Structure 1
Amino acid sequence: MASQGRPSIQSHDALDAPALKGILRDGGKAGLIVDAASTRQNSEGVKSETDARDFASSADVSDDEGSVIKDDANSIEDYDEMELDPDTLIANTRKSMDTSLRPGAAGNMADPLTAQNPPSHERDRRKRNSIQIRLEKTDRKGRYVLTADDPEIREILRKGVEREKVEASGKKPRTRFRDLILTRQFSTFDRRSQASGDSQFFGFFTLFWLSMAFIIAQSCLKNWRDYGNILGSNQIMKMMFSHDVYVLGLTDGAMTLGMFVTYLLQVVVQKGWVNWNKGGWLLQNIWQTGYLAGLVGWAYFREWPWTHTIFAVLHGLVFLMKQHSFAFYNGYLSGVYRRRALLEGKLEQLQQLDAVQSPPTSPRGSQQMDQFATGIDLSELSKRTSSLTANTKRRPSMHRASTNLTTETSDVASVATAIQSGSPITPEQMDTFSNIIRSEISDLTLELRGKSHSGTNAYPSNLRLLNYAEYICLPTLVYELEYPRQDKINWWYVAEKLTATFGVLCIMQVISQAFIYPAVAKTLRMKEAGMTIEERWQEFPFIVSDMLFPLLIEQLLTWYLIWECILNVLAELTFFADRGFYGDWWNSVTWDQYARDWNRPVHNFLLRHVYHSSISTFHLSKHAATFVTFLLSALVHEMCMAIMFKKVRGYLFSMQLLQMPLVMASRSKYLRNQVVLGNVVFW
């Protein structure tokens, strides 16, 4: 599917082959050949025009662009069972569960014959749920070259090649701070997404909104009959707009302005006035603590209704996560920047040294030349450097942000020690030292460029006031130097999503007023009437049953309002092209899958700044880091409940932590392959 803003792709002759296989190549190309076995199986004896007859290995397909792999560190660490699928741009690409467990997946259909030979409409749907590429014929039958003009696809293909080479070498690559795949894609329920428009359940989606329209009409008729107007008593609306609305707006503006303290701190760090590793991160954490404490204290002081409170607190938490991501990414890059400047100075110092033209003739003198007082074996260092330069993959630095070369254990530190010692150096050794330092500088430069392919936003050029202000408005919580962008704003789309936003708000107000407020008012009346706890508990099951379905509808509408309507409006207005704000969480069969899919922006933040940071900074195991991530999420949710209701009850906190044993239970042999049962348990 071609998204808006992508380069135009010319169409070519269609390929009548049920399956292709091949090898990914650099530059957005892949060498493909027809899978003869699959062709014979699916054609049921009918010979296809593109059947393979006699072709060579797909590895012989040449790479016209001749790209050289310069970095083997662009990989994604797994989040327990989570992994990214970097070889596709179809929406919801994150493999939060085994694809064989997906409802309707191959091998998981009720009818095996249907799985092998799907009906025509199913084949058409699968064909439409794909990306546009250019498939070119070669001079040999059964062989093709696949070319993707989209820049994100080309980047993902490049990373796929790197990943395959790293896996073949048997080495586990090092994760970079910036390893987060962002692509051009639509959200699942977006009408422009073929995944929703051509879904077999499209009619149920329509029926849901027709049902909502019927509920509104029914409530309006009842209010007209009972109150003489369609709004009725309208206590919910009065509560929302009768108290401190202007103060709430000013508070939100103050929170936005407060975010620029983080920007100023990073400017100070970049100029070298504050060292991020020695005190900058502490100042940032102190500021974040004060920011959150001030917001919570102000909400308590104003005694806002819960609607005002939850808006201010959630928006404040969004701003807090944005500040944290911006500060810690740029703080890390400041260390990389200082390390590169230090190595550039060492390289200049090395170039000013006079090399010894002839080594000593005696074996003892040669040994003194080769292994001096510092204990560094220069001959061994030369061997490692030779093997490094001969390999196309550059070994990732283990100390990217370190500037203390005296305590560091690495080849670069050894070279720096050798230069500082003033010992005699031969021309060969000088070349070795120079190659090591240049290789490290090149790796650090690549790190400083991050996702900025052109280099215009590479650190520290990204520390511009306009750049930071734009980041505040973007619908993402994870800071990157650049994001995939679209070319223009579709104002009709903005109008559509704004209309949907206000429409959903009206529906939520009607449901709250008609179905939730009466039940809540009844509980308050029972308490004010002096009923005992035993008497109130007798009414409790009936009150819960009355509120259960309305609360479920409110939950679904709240999720749709934020993640489909509001975030898409922000994305369209800011040219933000990655609309993967959620996955198909409604198909979840495990709790960890739901935690990853229902709120992708927050998940990405927790993945980078809590899960991975716990592993890299505190050296926790994956299971311990997962527990810390769930614990922090539960604490934040409980904090929101305590601010809303002015009491700490612990219900939500306890039930969120109960998801951990539920995750382990869903991975047991009894539930592992039970898709329907797992989804029922989840709901």
Structure 2
Amino acid sequence: MAEPAAPQRPPLESKDTLDATQLSGTLSHDGIAALRADGSAGRNGSPISSAREGTEARDFVPQSQSEAAVLDDDESDDTIEDYDDIELDPDTLVANARKSMDAAYRPAIGPDPSTSTSQSQPGMNGIHRKRGSIQIRLEKTDRKGRYVLTADDPEIREILRKGVEREELEASNKKPRTRFRDMVFTRQFTTFDRQNPASSDSPFFGFFTLFWIGLVLMFLQVSLKNWREYGSILGDNQIMKMMFSHDVLVLGLTDGVMCALCFEGYFFQLLVRKGYINWGKGGWIIQNLWQSAYLGGVVGWAYFREWPWTHTIFAVLHGLVFVMKQHSYAFYNGYLSGVYRRRALLEERLRILQAMEPVTSPPTSPSTSQYLDRTTSSGLDISGLAKKADSTSLKRRPSMGHRTSTNLQIEKSDVASVAQAIESGSAIDVDQMHTFERVIQAEIQDLTRELQGKSLDGKNAYPKNLRLGNMAEFVCLPTLVYELDYPRQEKINWWYVLEKTTATFGVLCVMMVISQAFIYPAVAKTVRMKEIGMPIEERWREFPFIVSDMLFPLLVEQLLTWYLIWECILNVLAELTKFADRGFYGDWWNSVTWDQYARDWNRPVHNFLLRHVYHSSISTFHLSRNAATFVTFLLSALVHEMCMAIMFKKVRGYLFWMQLLQMPLVAFSRSRLLKGRVVLGNVMFWMGLFVGPSFLTSLYLVI
């Protein structure tokens, strides 16, 4: 019997438009290709011959999309997948194609395809040689580097069609943007933690060691001098006396009460969960009023007790931490309560739908026609909805506006239209019932994933997370952003806890000595100038010398304060709570702009502002990005100025305006004058960090 003829591919017209032998890129949906020519060498470094010397076909490297390739001109070749190395799905295979394809998917078995020629030729016993190229046609457009991609080969067209469908399906499964920024918590160490392998491998490890050696030597020098003159390493010990001679026990009790009051959020969310309070209608307003009263009570209590600035600033800063924790806990759980109510409502609609008896009359019957007329008038496209339901999942909404909605009468969505159709009581047939059921089930599954959040095992999925222990754990965790679950480590390293605790008290001792030896004299000088009634003109003449005296000690104190909190104290809390994400800061010392410094030096607060101020301003109040950025900086500036007013017992606004000045400085750093000049940007950053604290402190002290 004669062998069947091999299927013939349509001939490719000989219309060369490029000299390149290979075009690499990704496919898109619009039929336009911006392809990158790569004719330098083959995969093994061998030269590639010109396209004009052989076949008219081109080697096209499809990545993931469909009928066109889009690739920026500056994209690196390293980011392009090699067609010979990728794993292909069975539905994308072409008979007699590349040798990288699994033999199980090939229609014929024959000799090693690596010995085949570069063109498809039918051989004996029905074996076909592989084709070395995918034949396509490129037509130029009016834009440079963009071409219309077409293929006459029916198998290639089928591959591209399925690629489009697969991309649409993947796009429909993407998680939509939510009101709450999806924070990513991972297992990681802080930069200077000795457990971090990158710390000891850093090329600047020796400078880190030198810094601490220098501080220890300075501490010993000042301590010996104080011991010889005063008989104490702390000198006159004014700062220590101020800290421990007044209301220490009351300060501790106050902190305990502030911590206990944080549990208001837990009990409030129980009321929301049980339906006594509707979070979306008034619950969030009540919560904000409570937080304002909480912070006002802390500040007022500190003034009433007439505490020294050390007690006051500790109480206020700790109170701010508790306020941010309460806010994050309440607003995330309040949001989830709306999602939970919506899911319950849709589950009720699903039960009603499943209890309905579908009609068996043909589509032209009066009952069916009556239903179709009603749904069409209400804007429900049955045929379009059925096509969506036939896919793996419905395309999700681009925003979260409907995630917490329970008013399906005014909501504009497919789910709401289906719910309205169910409530109307109109007759539906079996196919329509199945379509409606799939639509509602897809929405319920989507809401269930939202309620599960980061809790992969579901143990802390809402409302299971509303437990007193869960709230107590969050209060102790070194993070200000509430999540249903966090990465945790298996056990506590008590030697590590001892190490960081010892470092905490050691750093406190060094800070005490530096403050007493270098900062207290300058502060006492400004106090005496005011007590003797020195005119403002004479104080201004002393201003430059006071700034100069406090430049270095305030810089060292600032660095030590940062190290004390973000490296020592937070790591102790993380170890005791088995909190695995130690990303409390980034490499802020390499900052070239002030916004980079604001992001990296205090990651817990930055994450809170990003989620609950910046993104909430955009989603809730519909502000633009620039307006949301201004609101974030404004809130931060107000809080900083409040702290300065508490410390110095007066409102001057110096720090407030300096904080807002960061916004034009950020814009200036992105201008042509500074963009790309990393060294200059870092110098300007360090000059500001070096001079700024001393300058501002002197302003508050002198004026």
Instruction: Report the CA distance between 1:171 and its aligned residue.
Output: 11
Larger radius of gyration: 2
Which residue of structure 2 lines up, in the alignment, with residue 59 of structure 1? 86
Q: 2:449 & 2:261 partners in 1: Cα distance?
A: 32
Choose from 539, 557, 560 the match for 1:557.
Answer: 560
Secondary structure of 2:607's counterpart equals helix
CA contact (8 A) 1:22 1:58 kept: no
Choose from 263, 267, 272 the match for 2:266.
Answer: 263
Which residue of structure 2 lines up, in the alignment, with residue 115 of structure 1? none
Which residue of structure 2 lines up, in the alignment, with residue 412 of structure 1? 415
Choose from 377, 385, 397 the match for 1:375.
Answer: 377
Instruction: Report the CA distance between 1:184 and its aligned residue.
Output: 0.2
- With over 3 angstroms needed to count, the CA separation of the structure-2 counterparts of 1:434 and 1:375, relative to structure 1, is same
Q: 1:435 & 1:357 partners in 2: Cα distance?
A: 20
Cα deviations by residue, 1:63-112 (Å, 9 ceiling, x for unpaired): 9xxxxxxxxxxxxxxxxxxxxxxxxxxxxxxxxxxxxxxxxxxxxxxxxx
Question: What is the letter of the counterpart of residue 454 of structure 1?
Answer: D
Secondary structure of 2:439's counterpart equals helix
Secondary structure of 1:60's counterpart equals coil
Q: Does 1:276 align with 2:279?
A: yes
Q: Does 1:210 align with 2:218?
A: no
Spell out the pairing of 1:14-53 with structure 2 (5 A cutoff).
none
Spell out the pairing of 1:133-172 with structure 2 (5 A cutoff).
169=171
Which residue of structure 1 lines up, in the alignment, with residue 231 of structure 2? 228
Task: Show structure 2 runs of 5+ residues with no match.
Answer: 1-23, 27-40, 47-80, 91-165, 687-703
Which residue of structure 1 lines up, in the alignment, with residue 391 of structure 2? 390
Spell out the pairing of 1:317-332 with structure 2 (5 A cutoff).
317-332=320-335
Q: Does 1:608 align with 2:584?
A: no
Cα deviations by residue, 1:449-489 (Å, 9 ceiling, x for unpaired): 00000001100000000111011000000000000000000
Secondary structure of 1:59's counterpart equals coil
Instruction: Report the CA distance between 1:440 and its aligned residue.
Output: 0.4
Task: Show structure 1 runs of 5+ residues with no match.
Answer: 1-20, 24-35, 42-53, 64-163
CA RMSD of superposed structures (Å): 2.6
Q: 2:383 & 2:665 partners in 1: Cα distance?
A: 54
Question: What is the letter of the counterpart of residue 652 of structure 2?
Answer: R
Q: 1:62 & 1:188 partners in 2: Cα distance?
A: 42
Q: 1:538 & 1:377 partners in 2: Cα distance?
A: 77
Q: 1:39 & 1:196 partners in 2: Cα distance?
A: 38
CA contact (8 A) 1:382 1:432 kept: no
Spell out the pairing of 1:277-316 with structure 2 (5 A cutoff).
277-316=280-319
Q: 2:43 & 2:538 partners in 1: Cα distance?
A: 69
Instruction: Report the CA distance between 1:231 and its aligned residue.
Output: 2.5
Spell out the pairing of 1:527-542 with structure 2 (5 A cutoff).
527-542=530-545
Cα deviations by residue, 1:4-24 (Å, 9 ceiling, x for unpaired): xxxxxxxxxxxxxxxxx999x
- With over 3 angstroms needed to count, the CA separation of the structure-2 counterparts of 1:652 and 1:401, relative to structure 1, is same
Mean CA deviation greater in 529-538 or 670-679:
529-538
Instruction: Report the CA distance between 1:61 and its aligned residue.
Output: 6.0
- With over 3 angstroms needed to count, the CA separation of the structure-2 counterparts of 1:241 and 1:559, relative to structure 1, is same
Cα deviations by residue, 1:21-49 (Å, 9 ceiling, x for unpaired): 999xxxxxxxxxxxx989969xxxxxxxx
CA contact (8 A) 2:173 2:395 kept: no
Instruction: Report the CA distance between 1:537 and its aligned residue.
Output: 1.5
| TM-score normalised by length of structure 1 | 0.75
Mean CA deviation greater in 175-184 or 212-221:
175-184
Q: 1:433 & 1:513 partners in 2: Cα distance?
A: 74
Cα deviations by residue, 1:261-309 (Å, 9 ceiling, x for unpaired): 1110001110111111112112111111110111110011011111101
Instruction: Report the CA distance between 1:638 and its aligned residue.
Output: 0.7
Choose from 638, 654, 665 the match for 1:635.
Answer: 638
Q: 2:639 & 2:260 partners in 1: Cα distance?
A: 23
Instruction: Report the CA distance between 1:253 and its aligned residue.
Output: 0.3
Q: 1:40 & 1:562 partners in 2: Cα distance?
A: 54
Q: 1:191 & 1:216 partners in 2: Cα distance?
A: 23
Q: 1:185 & 1:166 partners in 2: Cα distance?
A: 35
Q: 1:639 & 1:165 partners in 2: Cα distance?
A: 52
Q: 2:553 & 2:429 partners in 1: Cα distance?
A: 80
CA contact (8 A) 1:485 1:576 kept: yes
Secondary structure of 1:372's counterpart equals helix
Choose from 643, 653, 672 the match for 2:675.
Answer: 672
CA contact (8 A) 1:178 1:480 kept: no
CA contact (8 A) 1:360 1:366 kept: yes
Cα deviations by residue, 1:121-146 (Å, 9 ceiling, x for unpaired): xxxxxxxxxxxxxxxxxxxxxxxxxx
Instruction: Report the CA distance between 1:674 and its aligned residue.
Output: 0.3
Which residue of structure 1 lines up, in the alignment, with residue 590 of structure 2? 587
Which residue of structure 2 lines up, in the alignment, with residue 347 of structure 1? 350
Spell out the pairing of 1:559-578 with structure 2 (5 A cutoff).
559-578=562-581
Instruction: Report the CA distance between 1:377 and its aligned residue.
Output: 4.8
Q: 2:337 & 2:489 partners in 1: Cα distance?
A: 30
Which residue of structure 1 lines up, in the alignment, with residue 70 of structure 2? none
Q: How many residues align?
A: 538
Instruction: Report the CA distance between 1:220 and its aligned residue.
Output: 1.2
CA contact (8 A) 2:385 2:435 kept: no
- With over 3 angstroms needed to count, the CA separation of the structure-2 counterparts of 1:574 and 1:438, relative to structure 1, is same
CA contact (8 A) 1:477 1:602 kept: yes
Instruction: Report the CA distance between 1:168 and its aligned residue.
Output: 8.3
- With over 3 angstroms needed to count, the CA separation of the structure-2 counterparts of 1:435 and 1:502, relative to structure 1, is same
Instruction: Report the CA distance between 1:602 and its aligned residue.
Output: 0.5
Instruction: Report the CA distance between 1:178 and its aligned residue.
Output: 5.6
Q: 1:309 & 1:343 partners in 2: Cα distance?
A: 51
Q: Does 1:430 align with 2:433?
A: yes
Q: 1:639 & 1:468 partners in 2: Cα distance?
A: 28
Cα deviations by residue, 1:314-367 (Å, 9 ceiling, x for unpaired): 0000000000000000000000001000000000001111111123536x8754
Q: 2:285 & 2:368 partners in 1: Cα distance?
A: 50
Question: What is the letter of the counterpart of residue 250 of structure 2?
Answer: V
- With over 3 angstroms needed to count, the CA separation of the structure-2 counterparts of 1:184 and 1:478, relative to structure 1, is same
Q: Does 1:483 align with 2:510?
A: no
| TM-score normalised by length of structure 2 | 0.73
Q: 2:479 & 2:668 partners in 1: Cα distance?
A: 32
Choose from 164, 173, 176 the match for 1:174.
Answer: 176
Question: What is the letter of the counterpart of residue 534 of structure 2?
Answer: M
Q: 1:588 & 1:406 partners in 2: Cα distance?
A: 52
Instruction: Report the CA distance between 1:195 and its aligned residue.
Output: 2.1
Q: 1:337 & 1:352 partners in 2: Cα distance?
A: 23
Q: Report percent identity of matched pairs.
A: 69
Which residue of structure 2 lines up, in the alignment, with residue 465 of structure 1? 468
- With over 3 angstroms needed to count, the CA separation of the structure-2 counterparts of 1:55 and 1:639, relative to structure 1, is closer
Which residue of structure 2 lines up, in the alignment, with residue 514 of structure 1? 517
Instruction: Report the CA distance between 1:388 and its aligned residue.
Output: 4.7
Q: 1:167 & 1:653 partners in 2: Cα distance?
A: 50
Secondary structure of 2:311's counterpart equals helix
Which residue of structure 1 lines up, in the alignment, with residue 101 of structure 2? none
CA contact (8 A) 1:370 1:377 kept: no
Question: What is the letter of the counterpart of residue 486 of structure 1?
Answer: Q
CA contact (8 A) 1:182 1:483 kept: yes
Mean CA deviation greater in 562-571 or 393-402:
393-402
- With over 3 angstroms needed to count, the CA separation of the structure-2 counterparts of 1:423 and 1:633, relative to structure 1, is same
Which residue of structure 1 lines up, in the alignment, with residue 157 of structure 2? none
CA contact (8 A) 2:359 2:430 kept: yes
Secondary structure of 2:495's counterpart equals helix
